[in-house]
């Protein structure tokens, strides 16, 4: 199962009381791991990367008869919806999106429930207890039941969320290391299931540099079929294929991932700062003109009449 390795993706969440793994605690750091400012290795993040966050999930991995405890750390920063908000164009006031019932008017959060639309304008209400009964039992276990060659993995199933998995304690290190090394030497990915937030999820387990990474997957039934390619029957011209092969060879080199970034936030910040400076400058000029005008219109105080001396 020898296949090319690929780059890692992302990972899940749970509000858990998780401590930092033993491998990252101050008791296990060497003097070289500390700086004069007392920072940890997590603070000295490679350029272009976000510092290590807190563990978001605690549980165990099960592979057949073997299981060991792990903690999960988000592999990527969750992209926010953006700092922009909706306003009334021309007015500039932020609009309000209120919860409103067409019959009873505005509602509070306590008044809002959930329902299933089973037809046009037809709803069946569901209580919180009924929805709770649909949740899968959560035993905090990542159960890996089969393995697939990395070159046979369908990357279209990646759901865009990944987790770094680390052993929870030193006792788990031997099994963790053995699994990671065996998967890496076999170029295999593990496929299994786990429960997150009451929902059963399909996951893939990958070994990278002797670290385990968990990828959340879409269920295969969610995958769309590829449109039929209406390709000509004749094979592409060999000279064209050779030209692209040379182009690929000439541009095949190690990638410095830190150089790849999205600068939209920086450009948005620059735009906002420019508009703020322009607005503040306009206010200053207006205030100066207003002050000058008020001073020019101010009537001079009448001089007191000179008193006549008596002879």
Domain range enclosing 169: 10-29+52-76+114-223
**Is the entire prediction scored with pTM above 0.95?**
no
> Percent of the chain scored above 90 by pLDDT?
49
Q: Minimum mean pLDDT among 47-61, 97-111, 131-145, 297-311: which range?
A: 297-311
* Signed CA dihedral, 33, 37, 38, 41: sign only: negative
Q: Is 90 a member of any domain?
A: no
- pLDDT tens sequence across 67-99: 999 999 999 887 666 688 889 998 889 998 889
Instruction: Please give the distance of CA 127 from its chain centroid, rounded to a whole number.
Output: 31
Query: Domain tally for the chain?
Result: 1
- pLDDT tens sequence across 255-264: 888 888 888 8
Q: Is 88 a member of any domain?
A: no
Q: Which one is predicted more confidently, 51 or 34?
A: 51
Q: Is 266 a member of any domain?
A: no
* Signed CA dihedral, 183, 187, 191, 197: sign only: positive
User: Quick one: pLDDT at residue 54?
Assistant: 87
Q: Is 62 a member of any domain?
A: yes
Q: Which two tokens stand for residue 291?
A: 């002050």
- pLDDT tens sequence across 187-227: 999 999 999 999 999 999 999 888 999 999 999 999 998 88
What is the domain-level CATH number for residue 62? 2.40.290.10
Angle at 262 between CA 257 and CA 265, to 5 degrees: 145
Residue whose token pair is 């505005």:
106
| Position 113 pLDDT exceeds 90 | yes
Cβ–Cβ under 8 Å, residues 72 and 55: yes
Q: Is 207 a member of any domain?
A: yes
- The most confident of the ranges 12-26, 191-205, 270-284 is 191-205
């Amino acid at each position: 199962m020898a296949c090319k390795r690929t780059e890692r993706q992302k990972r899940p969440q749970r509000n858990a009381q998780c401590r930092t793994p033993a491998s990252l605690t101050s008791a296990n750091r060497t003097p070289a791991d500390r700086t004069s400012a007392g920072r940890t290795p997590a603070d000295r993040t490679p350029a272009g990367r976000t510092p290590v966050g807190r563990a978001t999930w605690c549980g165990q991995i099960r592979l057949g008869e073997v299981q060991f405890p792990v903690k999960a750390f988000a592999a990527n920063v969750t992209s926010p919806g953006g700092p922009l908000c909706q306003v009334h164009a021309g007015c500039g006031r932020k609009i309000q999106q209120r919860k409103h019932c067409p019959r009873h008017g505005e509602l509070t959060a306590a008044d809002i429930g959930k329902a299933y639309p089973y037809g046009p304008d037809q709803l069946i209400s569901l209580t919180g207890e009924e929805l709770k009964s649909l949740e899968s039992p959560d035993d905090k276990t990542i159960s890996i039941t089969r393995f697939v060659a990395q070159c046979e993995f369908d990357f279209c199933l990646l759901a865009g969320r990944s987790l770094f998995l680390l052993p929870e304690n030193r006792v788990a290190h031997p099994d963790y290391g053995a699994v990671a090394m065996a998967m890496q030497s076999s170029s295999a990915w593990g496929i299994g299931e786990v429960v997150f937030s009451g929902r059963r999820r399909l996951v893939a387990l990958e070994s990278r540099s002797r670290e385990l990474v968990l990828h959340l997957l879409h269920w295969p039934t969610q995958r769309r079929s590829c449109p039929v390619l209406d390709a000509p029957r004749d094979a592409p011209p060999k000279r064209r294929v050779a030209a692209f092969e040379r182009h690929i060879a000439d541009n095949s080199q190690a990638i410095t991932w830190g150089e790849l970034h999205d600068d939209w936030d920086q450009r948005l910040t620059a735009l906002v700062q420019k508009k703020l400076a322009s607005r503040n400058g306009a206010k200053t000029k207006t205030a100066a003109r207003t002050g000058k005008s008020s001073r020019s219109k101010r009537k001079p105080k009448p001089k007191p009449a000179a008193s006549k001396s008596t002879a």
